[in-house]
Structure 1
Amino acid sequence: MRAAIRSFKVTIFALVAIVFISAFMSTKPSNPLRIDKVATAQDNFLLKPRQHIRLTPRPEETYAFPIPLGEIGPVQSLFSGKAQYPFICFTEESGFGQPEIDNLQGYGTPVYPKGLGRESRTRADIIGYSKDCLIKTNLRYYKVDNQQNYQEISAGFDQPLAAGEFLVRLEYGTINRFIYGILMPIKAEEIGDRLAQSQWNKKLIYQFGGGAGIGFRQGRLKEYQMFERLNDQLAQGYAVISSSGNRTSYTYNMLLAEDTARRVKRNFISLYGKPEYTVGIGGSGGGLAQYLMMQNAPGLIDAALPLYSYPDMVSQTLYAMDCDLLNTYYTFRADDTSTWQNMDNRALLDGLVAKNGDPHPSAIFQPINQILNGQWPNLPDGNSECINGWFGLYAFIHNPKQGWLREYFSPDVVDNHHWNHWQDLINIYGENEQGFARHVWGNQGIQYGLEAWKKNQISFEQFVDINQKIGSWKPVHEMEKERIARIPIWDKPFWLSLWGNHNVTPELQPQHASSRHPTDYVAVEKAYRYGQIYLGMADIPILDVRHYLENDLDMHHVSASFQSRQRIQDWQGDSHHQVIWVADEDYDPIDLSFAVMDEWMQGVLAGQSVIEAKPKLAVDTCFDKQGKVIASGHEVWDGEWNAKPKGQCQQAYQVYKTSRIQAGGRWAGNTFDCARIPLEQAVQQGIYGELDVQALLPQLKALFPLGVCDFTQGDQAKPRDLNLSMLELVDNQTVNN
């Protein structure tokens, strides 16, 4: 009775909300920086690897670095193909003023008279346009203290510095149309001298940034981000370089990111000479960028400090894009939706952490969408990483009709372009028959929830229901925009197409599985050869550091570090040069990681091998909230990922899985298309464990007419020549780095 009353109240609330939305939907004032016309890209050289990008010589540099002060750096990239248009400028948002006018024909971002504030701008005030978002190279100076406070100072600064204070010079400009920055610690008498470097310790940090981006924008590079994150290292004398083109908030095009990083570092070296070593640092996308840079461009960084890392972004889409399929099933399609209201049960399919009694901020979308779908509504009483971490990401990454939720472009521009991650890399992935960018995601043969069924955590009937109804994403050319309302008093998108359910293939009749999406082998091959996928190549010191965030349902789960480790072991046979540290949220091990990495690199510079030079502290470790070591050693992270008894760190910090692992996949997470085998063969190979499935074979065959995944055969979409080891791949080739 109470449940019925609660559902009735939810229904009334949802109906009122729908009326509220309908009554108060409005449009925002036009963005004064909106782009109305799109430039045409000129031809530009694109690297074309025959085996792997690591083995492909890069062209000779054409720009004469360093960039002179007051001038603009190189505009066209060196080897990553045509410039992308439209391209949103962010020089003003970064604090460096409006971009230079490069045309009067209306292409790109509008430019206004200097001094005219944004709130006063109208389209009638436009004095020109910037299609390439360029700014002149310049210098700024800052006083910084050990509390991460910074203050811009003028050229005549002569005040004494207090304890803990120091001075930093910032050089900024654009390279490959992205904003770059160079931070160099200096003395007061060096203000005004671009080349002064007396406080530099000869060690260089390349700062990579994270986030999820789909291109078409320059991105921000703000001073405070560089100062706050690396304040202690600047105080110790490190120089820091970075670029908005090396922040995955703005693009996951790793070819363009490498092209840009090489030039930023080349500009630095042309001014100050070669550093003793370059260490990378960055979290999330900034972590995976380091794994891909060490694989694709040896010598760009000499050591890596990936934080909250993944091995790459592309392989994360496999399970991340499963999330909204599974949420669609739980919310709209399951025979017994009440079972899946229990978040503990969802974890059996998602693999990712889930918690009851922890409602997610977008919970109200569920009953409203259920009503719109003609269902009796219910309000979820829990949350999961699949929701908290990946909600809406499918639309951002995959739906070409969606992309932006903000008014960056006019409706005409929006309607005439495709907006997703795949389109950002169309020069790599290629174009399909319908004119859309190819993509790598597929789910044929995937037995969702297989491991839970094998362990009797779900019934056979539930297993059938899941795999019959989960379906797949529609072909991209059939996709529709998300149905999103905006409410004036709530500055958030209000999803009326929850979980993208309108873009999921429809349910078929009982005993016939919904369609599954095939893998595009052309796109996967290009992703491999262009280094968008981490194979496991690594020959530099790696200290993989993260906080344990599973309790927060954060997307940066620990298992991602073991994806990288398993790939390294698969490729090289061992992973002794990759160290994994996990700490409680209240302890920050970054300063310690820099100290350990410096000791490690000093040994390498002295002629020792990467393994010989490892310091005692460069070993797998977990820390508590006070920074005390819970456990350290070679076996502390043993567990299900390597089929060994749980080590002490695994016992302290549980490592969760993904939907593909729960479907029988490997922890490496890099099977874009599995080998499919007949059901009889799957039984013989023990894929169903101790389950007696002989009498169930007819139903299983109806679910999987093309066979089921045999993950032991590896990724069938991976080019066969890339199954060789690194040494075999190199094969005495000369690589131009």
Structure 2
Amino acid sequence: MRKLLAVVVLSLFVGPAPAHASNGRVDIDVVSSPKPTLVTGGSALVRVTGTGQVTVRVGWRDVTKAFKIQADGSRLGLVDGLPLGSSVITASVRRGSPAAVRVVNHPVTGPVFSGPQQVPFFCETTAFGLAPATPPNCAAPPVVSYQYRTTRGTFAALPDPALTPPDATVTTVNGRTVPYVVRIERGTVDRAVYEIAALYDGQAPSPTRTHDAWNKRLVYTFGGGCNVGYHQGATTGGVLNDLFLSQGYAVATSSLNVLDNNCSYVISAEVAMMVKEHFVETYGPPAHTIGWGGSGGAIQQYDIADNYPGILDGIVPQISFPDAVTTGGTVGDCRLLNRYFTATPGYTDDQRKAVSGYGAWGSCVNWDLAFASRGNATEACPPAIPVQYLYNPTTNPGGIKCTTAEQLVTQLGRDPATGFARGYNDNVGVQYGLDALKAGRITAEQFVDINEKVGGYDVAGNVVAARTAADPLALTRSYRSGLVLAGTGGLAATPVIDLRAYTDAVNDIHTRFWSFTVRQRLVDAYGPSGAAGQAMLVTPLGTDRSGYALASMDAWLTAIAADRRHGDGRAKMLRNRPADLRDGCWTAAGERVAEPLRWKGTGTCDTLYPSFADTRIAAGAPLRNDVLKCQLKPLDLTGFTTEQKARLRAVFPTGVCDYSRPGVGHRGLAGVWQSY
């Protein structure tokens, strides 16, 4: 990549320069990217502040005419035609000191910081109405379409946005009544299909003019699941959302922000950064960006906010998990336990629940049925990947292995001896059902039998008799890279509203204790104030309180932006939390209860919506639940017969988990904005 050393002197003349401008000062900033070294696609939205006659250049090229004066007196301009690699954009005023910013431009097809891209990679542009694309970049020209909101409360296609159908509705944005017509743009960025939606105000969007139908706020949506990549994806987090659009929010997302298409928060962060950059260069800078989505969509929000701060200003994770890696431990356990209990009659439902830790044994069963296959090299391959490219241990050992770890191989590394991504899963020393044994809910013989027969996985994800042992390098890298959510990065200053519909009682996998797992990590990082950055709200299943969460997050971020008092980002985040936004829940009758929420607490909300655990916590792990591989201690054989002791020694020849110590390989986060 050829570096271009450019001295930019751009000239933007706005009326006669005042007398004092001869010794003026000018500042320049890239506002479309979180860092000027992360520009993509050959363009950047640049803000210049200064008085008088201002000049701007890229190299010797004058780009002054691109800049327009804004309401705050600054000049905003879209600088395009940037070459790949390094350039310098300089702004100067007559007889004043120039200001310069070095930008580094990356291809719009990526990568930027996510590392080597997967090959092969299969395109799905036609699923979105885009032209067929060529692998592996899968690029297609953008397409703009329009929808309107009908009097029936649905969205319908609108061929001509200038012609309003008789059943069209209106909405109010910033005190103005405007037609409820939505402009939708679809295209490709970073090998993903993106979608951007915003109310249409009758003109083509521009980053340098005021939009009468946009409230200057962006919601970025994320989709759920978790699976191997190697394909573009045929779904997104969704943009046609009445809650957002009716209030004037713009909405953006992409196919690689769906964890079921791409179970890598690093790739998701890169795509979100690039899609947001394109949005800013199309519509202008938003006052703030709110993350939105549930399940795997919540994982992406937590992990992006902590590891790549600045992409999202505040997040609203719903039915949340902290990350894919630590969640994977209980997913694998549930397959092992489900196989054991299916083959071993005589256990009551209460005993199965006690061993699993869940409030309903069906939650563990459904982890097995829905997601345990994602750890197997051949069981859950996306249909978009042609069969001839898939792994087969005999006929195609070098093929695509459909495990979620493959999506993280850039962070984990690949084991040269096996050809698989280095594995972070481990159950050596795990005493399944330990809490159930201590509580007298299973017998000593049952405890021994479970741990004798539960087994583990081989490198391809097949169940075997031996326990699973993690790769030491994978453990360290999982912690250092933030694959295990640390909470010590950008979450320090990111407002969080953790919104959860209560599903523990209906055999669902989205169980409530995971919200407390995130909170515990934050408390361990920052002390008691760690809980203050995360508002936790619980609703009855089937009740929608997303409007309250959105309004509260908007108020929180607006107050932070207006805060000019002394203090860092964390201080401003903590002191500007809305007074009404307290932990709490809604009852089935719709009553709001505001009170502190605690894991296995006894308050009104914690009684209405009790929280339970998972397989690892039921085996003695701490609530923060971030131990991938436990350190070991001697086996306690108290209460077992001589014969049972011998069997337990055979199961645990090197000892059992000592959860009073950090996990093997545990390290602190290596830093934010890591590049691979």
User: 2:618 matched to which residue of 1?
Assistant: 662
How far, CA to CA, are the matches of 1:191 and 1:143 in structure 2? 17
One-letter code of the match for 1:570?
D
One-letter code of the match for 1:650?
D
Q: Which of 510, 517, 521 is the equivalent residue of 1:563? A: 517
User: 2:21 matched to which residue of 1?
Assistant: none
User: 1:453 matched to which residue of 2?
Assistant: 437
Deviation string, structure 1 residues 36-56 (Cα, Å, up to 9, x no partner): xxxxxxxxxxxxxxxxxxxx9
Give the CA deviation at 1:460: 0.6
User: 2:339 matched to which residue of 1?
Assistant: 328
- Specify whether residues 525 and 617 from structure 1 end up closer, same or farther in structure 2 by C-alpha distance, changes over 3 A only: same
- Specify whether residues 271 and 63 from structure 1 end up closer, same or farther in structure 2 by C-alpha distance, changes over 3 A only: same
How far, CA to CA, are the matches of 1:614 and 1:156 in structure 2? 40
* 8 Å Cα contact 2:230/2:385 also seen in 1: no
TM-score (norm 2): 0.77
Instruction: Choose between structure 1 and 2 for higher RCO, CA contacts under 8 A separated by at least 6 residues.
Output: 1
- Specify whether residues 549 and 138 from structure 1 end up closer, same or farther in structure 2 by C-alpha distance, changes over 3 A only: same
* Alignment of 1:209 onto 2:193: no
Deviation string, structure 1 residues 279-321 (Cα, Å, up to 9, x no partner): 1111111111111111111111111100111011110011110
* 8 Å Cα contact 2:199/2:245 also seen in 1: yes
> Match of 1:618, SS?
coil
> Match of 1:546, SS?
strand
- Specify whether residues 568 and 192 from structure 1 end up closer, same or farther in structure 2 by C-alpha distance, changes over 3 A only: closer
User: 1:701 matched to which residue of 2?
Assistant: 649
Counterparts of residues 450-599 of structure 1 (less than 5 Å): 450-476=434-460, 503-506=462-465, 515-537=466-488, 538=491, 539-573=493-527, 574-599=530-555
- Specify whether residues 412 and 176 from structure 1 end up closer, same or farther in structure 2 by C-alpha distance, changes over 3 A only: closer
> Match of 1:712, SS?
coil
* 8 Å Cα contact 1:185/1:239 also seen in 2: yes
Q: Give the count of matched residue pairs.
A: 555
Range with bigger deviation, 342-351 or 444-453? 342-351
User: 1:298 matched to which residue of 2?
Assistant: 309
How far, CA to CA, are the matches of 1:252 and 1:407 in structure 2? 16
How far, CA to CA, are the matches of 1:139 and 1:192 in structure 2? 12
* Alignment of 1:632 onto 2:594: yes
> Match of 1:348, SS?
helix
Give the CA deviation at 1:473: 1.1
Give the CA deviation at 1:98: 3.7
How far, CA to CA, are the matches of 2:546 and 2:673 in structure 1? 36
Deviation string, structure 1 residues 536-574 (Cα, Å, up to 9, x no partner): 231211100010112221111111111111111111113
- Specify whether residues 346 and 734 from structure 1 end up closer, same or farther in structure 2 by C-alpha distance, changes over 3 A only: closer
* 8 Å Cα contact 2:513/2:599 also seen in 1: no
Q: Which of 242, 250, 253 is the equivalent residue of 2:253? A: 242
How far, CA to CA, are the matches of 1:420 and 1:734 in structure 2? 26
User: 2:75 matched to which residue of 1?
Assistant: none
Give the CA deviation at 1:146: 7.3
* 8 Å Cα contact 1:88/1:408 also seen in 2: yes
- Specify whether residues 424 and 146 from structure 1 end up closer, same or farther in structure 2 by C-alpha distance, changes over 3 A only: farther
Give the CA deviation at 1:163: 4.7
% of aligned pairs identical? 29
- Structure 2, unmatched stretches of 5+, are 1-33, 45-77, 81-105, 172-178, 566-571
Give the CA deviation at 1:132: 3.0
How far, CA to CA, are the matches of 1:390 and 1:546 in structure 2? 22
- Structure 1, unmatched stretches of 5+, are 1-55, 103-129, 356-383, 480-502, 507-514, 684-690, 723-728
Q: Which of 412, 423, 437 is the equivalent residue of 1:439? A: 423
Give the CA deviation at 1:77: 1.5
> Match of 1:522, SS?
helix
* 8 Å Cα contact 1:232/1:591 also seen in 2: yes
Deviation string, structure 1 residues 566-623 (Cα, Å, up to 9, x no partner): 1111111132110111101232000011111122122211216212111122111111
One-letter code of the match for 2:648?
L
Q: Which of structure 1's runs of 4+ aligned residues deviate more than 4 A?
A: 56-59, 145-148, 191-196, 691-699, 733-736
Give the CA deviation at 1:215: 0.7
Deviation string, structure 1 residues 34-81 (Cα, Å, up to 9, x no partner): xxxxxxxxxxxxxxxxxxxxxx9995425323799xxx9811321212
One-letter code of the match for 2:43?
F
Give the CA deviation at 1:431: 1.1
Q: Which of 117, 121, 137 is the equivalent residue of 1:87? A: 121
* Alignment of 1:139 onto 2:87: no
* 8 Å Cα contact 1:73/1:174 also seen in 2: no
* Alignment of 1:717 onto 2:673: no
TM-score (norm 1): 0.71
User: 1:391 matched to which residue of 2?
Assistant: 369
Counterparts of residues 330-345 of structure 1 (less than 5 Å): 330-332=341-343, 334=344, 337=345, 339-340=346-347, 342-345=348-351
User: 1:509 matched to which residue of 2?
Assistant: none
One-letter code of the match for 1:601?
L
Q: Which of 162, 165, 180 is the equivalent residue of 1:157? A: 162
> Match of 1:576, SS?
helix
User: 2:569 matched to which residue of 1?
Assistant: none
- Specify whether residues 98 and 387 from structure 1 end up closer, same or farther in structure 2 by C-alpha distance, changes over 3 A only: farther
Q: Which of 380, 404, 410 is the equivalent residue of 1:427? A: 410
RMSD: 2.9
Deviation string, structure 1 residues 327-366 (Cα, Å, up to 9, x no partner): 111122x3xx1x23x32221111112336xxxxxxxxxxx
Q: Which of 180, 186, 193 is the equivalent residue of 1:179? A: 193
* 8 Å Cα contact 2:206/2:282 also seen in 1: no
How far, CA to CA, are the matches of 1:413 and 1:603 in structure 2? 51
* 8 Å Cα contact 2:540/2:586 also seen in 1: yes
Give the CA deviation at 1:261: 0.9
User: 1:226 matched to which residue of 2?
Assistant: 239
How far, CA to CA, are the matches of 1:405 and 1:276 in structure 2? 38
Higher strand fraction (1 or 2): 2
Q: Which of 65, 68, 76 is the equivalent residue of 2:110? A: 76
